[in-house]
């Protein structure tokens, strides 16, 4: 299973009003393990960032002047995400911007390049209803160290999101629960561990079986043959009184 954890930074909050992507950061998960295969680009959006957006990401317009336009890195981006599931926090926001960039580059929409999109914000809300579910809040909740995050950065946020996503979905690696082997201390007693479901059952040793038989024999002797553990049908026999000769005769 190949997944791409993705984040973007933009010039503002509204793609419909002409805001553009200025940074894309992605990392690859293969069977839920980071591979070290990253995709990261700063982009020249052809316009300035809004003051509020710049306070969030800290990327100046001057820094972006010599960076490539989206259409220049689009083939590399499409190849990178091809066939993978995208993991995005607040996915509708990033997806809208990416769809706009693809359309401006006269390329097919995102759905034709990836296997689907998972929104970790939606997932977090289902797991933690009524709580803050920002990336910072989720890092704190799941023990992900984000002390080095002072400004938003696409690649850094993707790395943090990958850790958060794996923490939120821990336990989904397999539908089969593997049982732990019997401890050495148990095996040394001579018991034979038997696995049934999620419990471990130990079969009695020959010495334990002999001791058990001895106890039952003592009970049998003291009760004058009335040890119920040696009479499997005792309950049924005692529950059904024996028929009298008269009753037996009338039943014929």
- Residues belonging to the active site: 152
- CB atoms under 10 Å from CB of 200, counted, come to 16
Phi, psi for residue 66 in degrees, rounded to 5: -100, 15
**133, 124 Cβ separation under 8 angstroms:** yes
What does the alpha-carbon distance between residue 104 and residue 230 come to, in Å, rounded to a whole number?
Answer: 86
Q: Where are the alpha helices (DSSP H) in the chain?
A: 51-57, 61-64, 70-81, 91-104, 120-127, 135-141, 154-168, 184-187, 206-222, 234-239, 245-250
């Amino acid at each position: 299973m190949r997944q791409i954890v993705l984040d973007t930074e933009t010039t503002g909050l509204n793609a419909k009003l002409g805001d553009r992507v200025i940074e894309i950061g992605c990392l690859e998960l293969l069977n839920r393990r980071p591979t070290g295969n990253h995709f990261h680009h700063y982009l020249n959006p052809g316009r300035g960032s809004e003051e509020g957006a710049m306070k969030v990401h800290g990327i100046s317009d001057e820094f972006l002047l010599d960076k490539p336009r989206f259409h220049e890195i689009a083939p590399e981006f499409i190849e990178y995400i091809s066939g993978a599931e995208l993991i995005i926090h607040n996915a509708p926001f990033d997806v809208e911007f990416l769809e706009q960039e693809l359309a401006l580059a006269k390329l097919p929409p995102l759905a034709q390049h990836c296997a689907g999109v998972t929104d970790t914000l939606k997932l977090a809300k289902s797991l933690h209803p009524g709580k803050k579910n920002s990336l910072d809040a989720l890092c704190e909740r799941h023990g992900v160290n984000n002390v080095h995050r002072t400004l938003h950065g696409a690649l850094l946020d993707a790395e943090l999101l990958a850790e958060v996503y794996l923490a939120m979905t821990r336990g989904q690696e397999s539908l089969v629960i593997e049982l732990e082997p019997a401890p050495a201390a148990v095996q040394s007693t001579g018991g034979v561990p038997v696995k049934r479901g999620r419990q471990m059952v130990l079969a009695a040793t020959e010495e334990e079986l002999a001791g058990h038989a001895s106890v039952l024999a003592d009970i049998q002797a003291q009760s004058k043959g009335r040890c119920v553990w040696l009479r499997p049908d005792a309950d049924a026999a005692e529950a059904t009184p024996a028929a009298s000769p008269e009753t037996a005769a009338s039943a014929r």
